[in-house]
Amino acid sequence: MSAQNVATDSLELKPGLEGVIDDWSSDQRAFKNVPWGKAMMWIFLVSDTFIFGCFLASYMTVRMSTLDPWPSSSEVFALSFGGAPIPLILIAIMTFVLITSSGTMALAVNFGYRKDKRTTFWLLIVTAILGATFVGMQVFEWSKLIMDEGVRPWGNPMGAAQFGSVFFMVTGFHGTHVTIGVIFLFIMAYKVSKGHLDEQKPGWFTKRGGNYEEIEIMGLYWHFVDLVWVFIFAFFYLW
């Protein structure tokens, strides 16, 4: 049998359980065409979706079942710049910053596949800076609620005691995701600048080792974090 026939036979999909086992045990790729890194990222994101979904469902359950008045978001999260307090102004800026970072991340993936290392590097840096800015504003928001308003995970002087516990749990869990993403964005930018993604050695995330598929995998995580914030913004701050 010729080498060409062997190569062709190895790409044929096998039926039944044998085919499933063959797909998942294929070298660095699941289902022949999907790299392991991308498949595992999707599995992680699906599991994370359930966790965030449980958090938001718990928030709605607590808010609808509590007998104490729930604090008004437009008042709690208002910010004054020397005049009358502006409702949700900080949250609006945070949302704009995070959505903008999703755009720069998409551009980084685009230029990454074009092998434009310089542009990809700076887009990753900008995305990381925007993410860090978001986290910084969240820290300011937390410190304002804790120091100025007296909100705690176990109490809240403005109304329902559950407000503090739900707020810190939901936004803290999301902020942790953003922080982890910022760290990995800087790591990815470093790898791009050093040419690590140009290497063609076999690697964990892609069959060809580097290529710029890793940027796309990072982009999946970052877009997920941005999308989750849209739901948090709608459910927690606008409701």
Higher per-residue pLDDT: 98 or 155: 98
pLDDT digits (tens, 9 = 90+) for 168-187: 999 999 999 999 999 999 99
pLDDT digits (tens, 9 = 90+) for 130-163: 999 999 999 999 999 998 888 888 888 888 889 9
Rounded-to-integer distance, Cα 188 and Cα 37, Å: 14
Say what percent of the chain tops pLDDT 90: 57
Q: What is the CATH number of domain 36-237?
A: 1.20.120.80
Would the pLDDT of 8 be above 50?
no
Rounded-to-integer distance, Cα 180 and Cα 188, Å: 12
Give residue 225's pLDDT band: very low, low, confident or very high (50, 70, 90): very high
Phi-psi domain of 35 (left: phi exceeds 0; alpha: psi -120 through 50; beta: other): beta
67 φ/ψ angles, rounded to the nearest 5 degrees = -90, -20
Residue 173's CB is within 10 A of a number of other CB atoms, namely: 15
Higher per-residue pLDDT: 36 or 84: 84
Going from N- to C-terminal start, the domains of the chain cover 1-32, 36-237
Mean pLDDT across the chain: 85
Token pair 């998409």 in the structure block, residue: 106
Q: Bridge-partner residues for 35, per DSSP? A: 29
Would the pLDDT of 4 be above 50?
no
Going from the C-alpha of 57 to that of each of 43, 47, 150, 176, 232, the distances in angstroms are 21, 15, 26, 20, 11
